[in-house]
Structure formats: C-alpha cells, structure tokens
Amino acid sequence: MFEIFVGIIALAAFLSYLNAKFLKLPETIGVMILSILVSLLFAASYFINQTYFDQVTDFARSIDFKTILFDFLLGILLFAGAIHVNLKGLLKEKFTVFIYATFGVVVSTFIIGTAFYYVASLIGLNINYLYSLVFGALISPTDPVAVLALLKKAGAPKHMEIKIVGESLFNDGVGIVVFLSVLSIATMAHEFDFSHITSEFGKEAGGGFLMGIVLGHLGKKCIVSVNKQSVIAVHISLAIVLGGYVLSNMLHISGAIAMVVAGLIIGNSLHAKVISADLKTHMNIFWKVLDEIFNAVLFVLIGIVMITLDFNIYHLILGIVSIVLVLLARFISIKLSNLFLKKSHRVNKNEALILTWAGLRGGISIALALSLPEGEVKDIIVYATYVVVVFSIIAQGLSIEKLVSKLLK
C-alpha cells in the first residue's frame, strides 16, 4: 500500500507540473483531466497487448480508494478547508448552511433515488429501490474544492461563497451518515427498526459535532500556549487532525464532522491578537500546501478509477441521465430549503441556479460507491457515480465562472 501511495503522489506531482506548464487550468480540474487521459492511454493497450492491459487493470483494482480517502485524506482535506473559512461569516449563514446540509441532502437523496430506480427499470437494469436510495445518498454531498477559486475570480458575493463552502464542509459528514444509514437498511435481512437507524444517525452526527468542539478547543489552547514556537503549533494541529480522526472512528462517530468543527474553531483562534504573525503564516502555508497536494492526489485517484470500469452502454446511458437527475434534485432541494429560511436568507432564481451548478461531486461519492458489496448493483452504481462526478468537475467546474458573470452582473 505504501509503494502504491508513493507512486500516486509522484504521478500527481508530474500531472500538476504538466497542467501548470501547458493546460493552465484550475489545478484539480487539470490534474483530473490528465489522469483520465493517462487512464485512456492504458486502456488503449488492450488492442496492443492484452496481458499488459490485464496487469494494469489488476493494479488499478488493487488500489484501496476507500481506505486511502476515508482513513487518511478525508480528515486532512476537511480540516484544511475549514481552517481557512471565516467563522463569523459562516455564523451569519449558519441556519442556511444547516438546512442545506441536512434537509437538502435528505430531500436530494429521495428525489435522486426514486428517479434513478424508475429510469434504471425503464432501460432494463434490475436495481432494488433501497439501493437506488443508496445511490441518492452517496451522490448528494457536494464538493466545491475545484470551484471556490473560480467563484472568487468571478466576483461571486461573499454570502454565496460562505453558503457553498459551509454547506460542502458539513454535508460531506451528513451525507456519509445518511449513506451508512440507508445502506444498513438495504443490507438488513430482517425487518429493520427505524428508531435504531435514527439513534445511530444522531450518535454519528451529534457525537462528531461534540468531538469537534472538544478537539478544537484543546487545539486552540495548546496552540496559544506555544505562540512563539510556530513549528510546534503546526505539529499540534496535525496531531489533532490525525489523532482526532482515528479516535472518532474508534468511537463510531463522524470523524468528518469532527474535523470540520475543529478546523473552524482552530482557524478562528488564529485571528486572536495574541497570535503572532509568524505562527499565522506557518499555519496557513502548511495547511494550504497539504490541501493542494492531497487534492491533486484525490483527483488523480478519481482519474485512475476509470481503468477499473468495464464498458457497458446501459450503465453509461443511466450515468448520463443521472447527471440531469442530480442537477434537478439539487435545484429542487435548494428551492424547498427556502421554505425554512427567513426572507433575507432566501436565494432568488439566479442564485439557486448558481448554487446548483456550483454543487460539484467528488471523491467522497466515488469512495462510497466503491465501498458497496460486490455484485451487479455495485457495478451499476459505481458507473453512474463516475459519470456524474467527471461531468460535474470538468463541465460544471470550467463553466461556473461564466455562469456567475452572466447571472450576477
């Protein structure tokens, strides 16, 4: 596993270099496009040397995408994203973010899952309704990593930025909990107890939130106490992330939500007057570099997954239709969320369109799909997930700037 991870980091560095020198696209988008091209080149080897192609495919399938993302990358990426968020701005939009990240995810799950079930049946693919809801749950969380820089460049309003960032940070954790809850129902041989599922959901999400508060305040206290020793402060923050994420998993609570909350608290503490400029600089640079390196790694992994997919025209058709379903469900969930918000916090039609198009799907969706039990249903869901993720990152990611400029003149 270590050798594989080293190889992926090296490939990510090389593709980042090629993108910076030649494509000049936003890094995550450019790296993923290049990694897909590399995958296509390997796929072409099927027509030259089938034995070599089989070896490459077996190697790609040996990469434990789920373990790399959930046991290592996810905690770091969520903390790194949260530490740079303006907590005061987020608190102003806290109820909006909460509604989008909870109600929005649940509504989206049911809309996508129900439509997915009927479309799959229409084209002759046999998939259980509960597993259709599983697809709805894993594809609902948004991942705007690739689009945030473009939103800033396009001059999107700050309140909209905060909504997109805050929602994505929290709906990753909520989406994972919803996915696990629905999957546990789908895989139960006996009659399930809804109250058990609800209590497990509360334990995962609520426990993660409390863990994040404890870790955040512990980290804040330790960092302030070593204010003049920047390297030690950075080391403490890294220990909080790695140790806190492992501890959360051991306690069966949401490590994703814990890392977001801890990141917000520690990031906010860096604005205190007692914090030295040197410590702020070290902390910001360290987590920015980690964020960009591991995002590149994540998007290389997304590209590599393509090698493991066996071509199936019906799976491809379902994946293409799923793009429309996901965008439609996203728009509907945003508009329905308005019903719970004060008039001043509601979004108009143009803003809803931007929030819909900016809701990219990423590595978490693919990792969740790959974690499903082996079988034909998993193949269908992985294929559809991959098509939606690739479309959202490339097509939506590259066009969001123009959309923002056009709709918010």
> Using one digit for the tens of pLDDT, what is the confidence trace for 107-166?
999 999 999 999 999 999 999 999 999 999 999 999 866 566 666 666 778 888 888 888
Contacts of 91 (CB under 8 A, 6+ apart): none
- pLDDT tens sequence across 349-373: 999 999 999 999 988 999 899 999 8
Phi, psi torsion values for 274, nearest 5 degrees = -75, -15
Contacts of 37 (CB under 8 A, 6+ apart): none
Note whether 331 and 111 are within 8 A (CB). no
Q: What is the pLDDT of residue 202?
A: 82
Q: What is the pLDDT of residue 185?
A: 85
Q: What is the pLDDT of residue 392?
A: 93
Reading the block at residue 310, the tokens are 């066996």
Phi, psi torsion values for 107, nearest 5 degrees = -60, -45
CATH of the domain at 110: 1.20.1530.20
Start-to-end CA span in the chain (Å): 49
Reading the block at residue 42, the tokens are 């390997």
Closest by CA to 74, choosing from 366, 305, 299, 294, is: 294
| Distance from C-alpha of 9 to C-alpha of 89, rounded to nearest angstrom | 34
What's at 75, amino acid-wise?
A: G
CA angle 169–175–181, rounded 5-degree value? 150
| Distance from C-alpha of 59 to C-alpha of 206, rounded to nearest angstrom | 39
| DSSP codes joined into one string, 167-190 | HHHHHHHHHHHHHHHHHHHHT-SS
What's at 291, amino acid-wise?
A: D
Number of domains in the chain: 1
Note down the domain range covering 209: 2-407
Q: Which residues of the chain have pLDDT under 50?
A: 190
Contacts of 102 (CB under 8 A, 6+ apart): 171, 174
